[in-house]
Amino acid sequence: MSRSPSITLPVLDLNAPAPTPLRARARSSSIVKVEEVKDRSAEDVTDRDAYLNINANWVNAKGAWLIHVVLILTAKVIIDTIPGMTHEISWTLVNLIYLTLSYVMFHGVTGIPFGSDLHSGAYDDLTLWEQIDDGAQYTPAKKWLFCLPIGVFLASTHYTHYNPWLFAINLSALILVLIPKLPQFHRQRVRFMTHGSGFATPVSASFPGSGASTPTLDPSIPTIITDAHFK
């Protein structure tokens, strides 16, 4: 009488230690972080060239350079009309107001306020300074906008009679405005108290498991399969 063929399955060793899975730990936050603003895709370059960027092209228009001087002198006249205002405080206020508005306008706001759909959002992450002359450096407009704050600072320093406290205030404001204009900081963003970038850093396997366990053998599944199991 022939014996029925049988198939023997290997026995699963339940006592063998299961490998501990690697866990991921998010990168720790940084107090100060410098990030570069890059194009989201190659299409951004094409979208920026599709139409004229009227948001930044005005700096090269006639009278655009002269309007800065007119506004500065107008602010000086208005501030001088305040009762009890001295020339020292007046020039300091003119310098601080111009530097503040200049920083907000050229470096504090990104994107374009109108016609953004014409460029498909290609300028959404760029400041006005980075949009001027398509990002080119050392252009006449950028040289003028770089030298003008220095001229206002020198005028305020002279008319404040080189007061050390007012000089320190005016100089600090000037440095904060000129730094973003440097080519080395083109498309650079300084972030404070930033969190992890979203990428995980692998760590050692000594961390506790995530809760998933190794599958165990079901007692209802036989280890030896014969012909009887197929009847």
pLDDT for the residue numbered 154: 96
pLDDT for the residue numbered 203: 37
Query: What are 178-196's pLDDT values in tens digits?
Result: 999 999 988 888 776 655 5
At residue 30 the predicted structure's pLDDT band, cuts being 50, 70 and 90, is: low
Of the spans 13-22, 42-51, 161-170, 199-208, which averages the highest pLDDT? Answer: 161-170
At residue 199 the predicted structure's pLDDT band, cuts being 50, 70 and 90, is: very low
At residue 207 the predicted structure's pLDDT band, cuts being 50, 70 and 90, is: very low
The 3 state secondary structure assigned to 172-214 is HHHHHHHHHHCHHHCCEEEEEEECCCCCEEECCCCCCCCCCCC
Q: Is 152 within a domain?
A: yes
Q: Is the pTM of this model over 0.85?
A: no
Query: What are 133-163's pLDDT values in tens digits?
Result: 888 899 999 999 999 999 999 999 999 999 9
pLDDT for the residue numbered 211: 43
Positive or negative: CA dihedral 63, 68, 73, 75: positive
pLDDT at 56 over 80: yes
Q: Is 131 within a domain?
A: yes
Q: Is 93 within a domain?
A: yes
Q: Is 43 within a domain?
A: no
pLDDT at 201 over 70: no
Taking the C-alpha atoms of residue 34 and residue 65, their distance in angstroms, rounded to an integer, is 32
pLDDT for the residue numbered 36: 76
Give the total number of structural domains in the chain: 1
Query: What are 59-86's pLDDT values in tens digits?
Result: 988 889 999 999 999 999 999 999 999 9
pLDDT at 49 over 50: yes
Taking the C-alpha atoms of residue 99 and residue 25, their distance in angstroms, rounded to an integer, is 43
Query: What are 89-134's pLDDT values in tens digits?
Result: 999 999 999 999 999 999 998 888 766 666 666 778 889 999 898 8
Q: Is 139 within a domain?
A: yes
Q: Is 183 within a domain?
A: yes
- Residue 187 structural domain: 52-195
pLDDT for the residue numbered 78: 96
pLDDT for the residue numbered 2: 56
Q: Is 201 within a domain?
A: no
Q: Is 126 within a domain?
A: yes
